[in-house]
Structure 1
Amino acid sequence: MSTHIPETFDEWRHCIEQECRIVLTKEYIEQRLAILRELNHEETQRFIRHYGEHHWQQVVRWFERAQNQWGQTSLIMKEKGVKG
């Protein structure tokens, strides 16, 4: 696994999906956002201590972007009659 800290959405998504082999499902994104948006959550505090507040804010925005893209993809699939 790379020790490079992602600086862009595309780098972050590559890290999550390719290097960590995590599927960015709707449920996974929602779970991560619920934790990362809770400032007093132990995991969020650990993340901020390790990566800093700026990177934490950026990662929250990237998860929100992924959530929006997931929703758009789901809508397109529904419009085309594809079940997913």
Structure 2
Amino acid sequence: MNDHSSFYFQSYEQWRHAITVRCNITLTSEYARTRIAALNDASDTHTKEFAAKYGEAYLNQVIDWFSRAEQEA
């Protein structure tokens, strides 16, 4: 497995900045819920690719960040 850790966001703040500023996405509660559902769907092709590339631990971290964003929306 390749080490992609240099591409990982190290904090919620870094991740949120990338989503909201660099990608210009508004983190609404609806958007967060949609992403949480997709990332929790083990049969989803994109979720499988994400887990294979970055690992289950990072996948779970991103789900947690979307959950936090949903609560903050």
Task: Calculate the TM-score normalised by the size of structure 2.
Answer: 0.83
Q: Structure 1: give runs of 5+ residues left out of the alignment.
A: 71-84
Question: What is the CA-CA distance between 1:4 and the residue it aligns to?
Answer: 4.0
What are the ranges of 5 or more consecutive residues in structure 2 without an aligned counterpart? 1-5
- Aligned with residue 12 of structure 2, among 9, 12, 17: 9
Partner of residue 40 from structure 1, selected from 40, 43, 50: 43
Paired-residue identity, %: 35
Larger Rg computed on CA atoms = 1
**SS in structure 2 at match of 1:23:** coil
Structure 1, residues 22-53: CA drift from partner, whole Å, max 9, x if none? Answer: 11112211110110011221111011112211
Matched, 1:58 2:61: yes
Q: How many residues align?
A: 68
- Normalised by the size of structure 1, how large is the TM-score? 0.73
Equivalent of 1:20, from 15, 18, 23?
Answer: 23
